[in-house]
Amino acid sequence: MAPLLTMTGIKKHFGGVPALRDASLEIEPGEVHALIGQNGAGKSTLIKILTGLYRRDEGEVEFAGAPSHLSSPRGAQNAGIATIYQELNLVPLRSVSENVVMGQEPKSFGFMINWPEAHRRTREILSRFGIEIDVTAPLGSYSTAIQQLVAIARAVSMDAKLVIMDEPTSSLDSSEVEILFGVVRELKSSGVSVLYVSHFLDELFQICDRVTIMRDGKTVGCREIVDTKKLDLIAAMLGRNTDEIEAEGLTELAGGSAAFDEVVLDVNHVATGPRLSEFSMSLHRGEIVGLGGLLGSGRTEAARSIFGLDPLTSGTLRLNGREFKPAEPSEAIRARIAFLTEDRKAEGIVPDMSVRENLTLALLPSLRRNGQIDREREKELVGEFIRKLGIKTSHMDQPIRELSGGNQQKVLLARWLATKPDILILDEPTRGVDVGAKREIQAIIRTFVDEGHAVILISSEFEELVEGANRIVVMHEGKSVSELTNPGITENALVRALAHHEDATP
Amino acid sequence: MTTVTSEETMRTDYTSRLKDHGGLIALAVILVFNIIVTPNFLQTQTLAVNISQVATIAIVAMGMTLVIATGGIDLSVGAVMALSGALAPLVFLSDFGQAYPVLGLIAALLFPLLAALVCGLFNGIIVSVLKVQPIIATLILFISGRGIAQVLTNGNLQTFSNPEFSYLGTGKILGFPFQGWLALAIACLLFWVVNRTIFGRYLLAIGGNERAARLAGGPVRGVKIGAYVICSVLSGLAGLIVVAINSASDAARNGNLMELDAIAAAVVGGALLQGGKAPIFGAILGAVIIQLVKYTLLANGVEDEVALIAKAVIILAAVYIQQARKE
């Protein structure tokens, strides 16, 4: 049988930065096909090209036996490609029926909506998936799972040949996941193909037929799921094996041999909610402790708990031996903790402010003199950091939004270094910056640690963790589950530690 | 090739200058128009009248600019004016005020401002602690504030004769109205606060990216409450000035529609509704433009209703220029 969808040699650039370098994807009719990859591997770009949100630079797409040149989501919908996004694009205040039939309402007399018919049709579609609900009630009155199923029902009612599900289970509980799987199987048996994007690898083994793996904008493999082990998938996603690591894996983070006798931070069974339920670690002076884990394992939440962003529901933090309970970031900053956040745009820079104003934002209380900001000292400090960190800016009063990502990141790093922290928490410090800036940032971190400070490092780049961290605390589903100690950590060992805990889940 | 590029740069320079100084250009146009068309425009008398009327708008618009800089809005300024304006005569006309005129006068100034401060605290706390959208949060006092003022005065017009108090609205320094100097002094103070103090830096950071400001240790709640308090106190002051000008307090009319004038002045002055900018002198410029348009139309016999339409056109133009600036 001819494949339903074939994408080959897809390339896509964004302003000179390649997002897709050689991506391909093939889906059979009636197949449930998984698409996996690390953050930034190019999954969503590929999907957006498929659904007409982006135009490809190069490559061929063939859908249902004909070359496809979609240029809008609506075109994709008409061609039979439906997408269920993480954030549902439905209208919560309107009834279930309205949401399902929207855009193709049954009419009477040619202009009035035939509501009894609309409700009947909606009930019929939903009952195919074993869902019996009041279709006249507002959609928003139902759980996320039901809303998601309604979105799928809507897709089916439009005679979709391919349904794309982007992280469909991320907000569902286990019984709801079962319902969703039932729907996926029902789709499959009626000949509809499903493209299933998820970072929960266990799910793939339950419902998928084949899996396509992407890394760095390329498709690196397509396998039958029955012939695959989870460890293979993780290794393929990371693109790692021992030979490669020895050949190229050096980062600027390696080194450092301080004696770790003084504990600066002690985290004991901390919980802040469902996404961080049991987190313990200790941190010594002159040490980098990595937090390892897959997406959604609670690494960022762990950092937030230490920085006073999420109140603790149980457990204790001890800072230099004394109990520490920050309620606001300002308290954590006063206690000499700094937190470089993952999302530079949303949580880091103030785009319209200058490099100078961004750099000193966390430092303001100590720049106060006679009720105003000591501008001389401010300029002196900013100039010093621009020199020391090699920040490329035409002038310290240039708006930060005009700087490159790497230089913005250096300004933010300087913002925290300027507060002279004892503990620096780094959440993906080198994401989205070019290779040169990446090494410079790593070197800055190394220097900071060698001066006797402590770092908690969250990174999806495993070589950063493996080479930089003295220890790695492995996180899984909101819990710290094990710890690896350097020397002796290899990427394989880390991958195995992650995979082991993946396997251990029921 | 080279000439083309330089022409292009010149053109972008020209358009960006137009966008950056649109307010000043508009002011110049209005002035020139008036000098030619309006009789007796170039007389100190005219200037004094305009200054005495623009001062209240300018004072409220500056407070509004601070609130808008946090990404918020304050609809209650007119109601706060009415409230504070109603309180002042109540204080100095009371038995206490009659018995001790000096203390009564001081109390008549401080007590209404204190009431305005409480209104600002109320707005600020609802916005920053209870996280209610500013437009809804300040709607509460917008509706109830004027009501309270009218209840306090039984809905009556309070007339009085108190020259000391009236100095606030009719006094002159160097031939110019006292409230004009007052507005200028407040502008200088607020300019310093915005550009030189930590409060000001946080204010702009919160409007520019609230999450980033909080993560950098910024006291988001305190700064937001501060902005609403300053805005309310300035509104209270404006309310006192209006009462002083008229030697009468009319709770039903004092500050009526002032929220619209103040928002318009702030926006014309260059404040961005999404926050992050606080052009204090821009607010004064905006207030002057709005006042002059009003005056121009009035002086040339155009009806009030038409003047309202003209005001709307100005706001439209200001918003258009803002959009263009954002690109």
CATH number, domain containing residue B82: 1.10.3470
* Highest mean pLDDT of the ranges A122-131, A473-482, B190-199: B190-199
**B145 in a structural domain:** yes
B145 touches chain A (CB under 8 A): no
- Using a CB-CB cut-off of 8 Å, the residues of chain A touching B219 are 330
A350 touches chain B (CB under 8 A): yes
- Quickly name the fold that domain A248-336+421-504 has: Rossmann fold (3.40.50)
Q: What angle do CA A504, A235, A405 make, to 5 degrees?
A: 110
d(CA A8, CA B45): 80
CB contact under 8 A, B201 and A364: yes
How close A419 gets to chain B, by Cα (Å)?
Answer: 10
pLDDT band at A93 (very low <50, low <70, confident <90, very high): confident
Q: Which pLDDT tens digit goes with each residue over A217-229?
A: 899 989 998 888 8
Pairing of strands A193-197, A162-166: parallel
**B41 in a structural domain:** yes
d(CA B65, CA B118): 19
Q: Which range marks the domain in which residue B227 is found?
A: 22-326
Number of neighbouring beta carbons within 10 Å of residue B25: 12
CB contact under 8 A, A415 and B213: no
Provide the pLDDT for residue B212.
94
- Respond yes or no on whether ipTM tops 0.90: no
How close B137 gets to chain A, by Cα (Å)?
Answer: 24
- Using a CB-CB cut-off of 8 Å, the residues of chain B touching A371 are 197
Whether A1 shows a pLDDT value over 70: the answer reads no
Provide the pLDDT for residue A260.
61
Whether A262 shows a pLDDT value over 60: the answer reads yes
d(CA B258, CA B155): 20
Please check whether the two domains, A5-244 and A248-336+421-504, share a CATH topology: yes
Cα dihedral angle (A88, A93, A98, A99), rounded to 10 degrees?
0
A397 touches chain B (CB under 8 A): no
**B308 in a structural domain:** yes
The correct CATH number of A5-244 out of 3.40.605.10, 3.40.50.2300, 3.40.50.300, 3.30.365.10 is 3.40.50.300
B211 touches chain A (CB under 8 A): yes
**B13 in a structural domain:** no
Q: What is the mean pLDDT of residues A44-57?
A: 88
Provide the pLDDT for residue A87.
59
Q: What does the domain layout of chain A look like in residue ranges?
A: 5-244, 248-336+421-504, 347-420
Q: What is the mean pLDDT of chain A?
A: 84
Q: Which residue has the higher pLDDT, B193 or A54?
A: B193
CB contact under 8 A, B209 and A372: no
- Using a CB-CB cut-off of 8 Å, the residues of chain A touching B197 are 371-373
Provide the pLDDT for residue A215.
86
Q: Name residues of chain B where pLDDT drops below 50.
A: 1-12, 327
A261-275, A412-426, B134-148, B171-185: the lowest-pLDDT one: A261-275
Q: Which pLDDT tens digit goes with each residue over A315-352?
A: 999 998 899 989 999 999 999 999 999 888 889 999 99
How close A367 gets to chain B, by Cα (Å)?
Answer: 8
**B1 in a structural domain:** no
Please give the residue of chain B at the shortest CA–CA distance from A419.
B216
Which residues, 6+ apart, have CB-to-CB distance to A493 below 8 Å?
A484
Residues in chain A: 506
Instruction: Count Cβ–Cβ pairs < 8 Å, chain A vs chain B.
Output: 75
CB contact under 8 A, B198 and A367: yes
**B40 in a structural domain:** yes
Q: What 3-state class would DSSP assign to B210?
A: helix
Please give the residue of chain B at the shortest CA–CA distance from A326.
B217
Q: Kindly write down the DSSP assignment for every residue of A40-98, as one continuous string.
A: TSSHHHHHHHHTTSS--SEEEEEETTEE----SHHHHHHHTEEEE-SS--S-TTSBHHH
Q: Which residue has the higher pLDDT, A135 or A488?
A: A135
Provide the pLDDT for residue B7.
44
Say whether the peptide bond before residue B89 is cis (omega within 30 degrees of 0). Answer: no
- Using a CB-CB cut-off of 8 Å, the residues of chain B touching A332 are 217
Q: Which pLDDT tens digit goes with each residue over B280-312?
A: 999 999 999 888 888 888 888 888 788 778 878
Q: Which pLDDT tens digit goes with each residue over A166-216?
A: 877 766 766 778 888 888 898 899 889 999 988 777 788 889 999 999 988
CB contact under 8 A, B211 and A365: no
Number of domains in chain B: 1
d(CA A277, CA B130): 27
- Among left, alpha and beta (phi > 0; psi -120 to 50; other), residue A273 is left
Whether A127 shows a pLDDT value over 90: the answer reads no
Provide the pLDDT for residue A500.
65
Provide the pLDDT for residue A246.
41
Q: What is the mean pLDDT of residues A96-114?
A: 80
Residues of chain A with pLDDT > 70, as a percent, come to 91
In this complex, which of B205, B215, B276 lies closest to A329 when CB atoms are compared? Answer: B215
Q: What is the mean pLDDT of residues A420-441?
A: 83
d(CA A294, CA A38): 9
The candidate with the shortest Cα–Cα distance to A126, out of A136, A141, A115, is A136
Provide the pLDDT for residue B326.
53
Whether A38 shows a pLDDT value over 80: the answer reads no
How close A257 gets to chain B, by Cα (Å)?
Answer: 31
CB contact under 8 A, B217 and A415: no
In this complex, which of B197, B215, B218 lies closest to A347 when CB atoms are compared? Answer: B215
Give the distance, in angstroms, between the CA of residue A170 and the centroid of all CA atoms in the same chain: 12
CB contact under 8 A, A329 and B196: no
A373 touches chain B (CB under 8 A): yes
**B243 in a structural domain:** yes
Residues of chain A with pLDDT > 90, as a percent, come to 30
How close B22 gets to chain A, by Cα (Å)?
Answer: 20
**B8 in a structural domain:** no
Provide the pLDDT for residue A423.
94
CB contact under 8 A, A329 and B216: yes
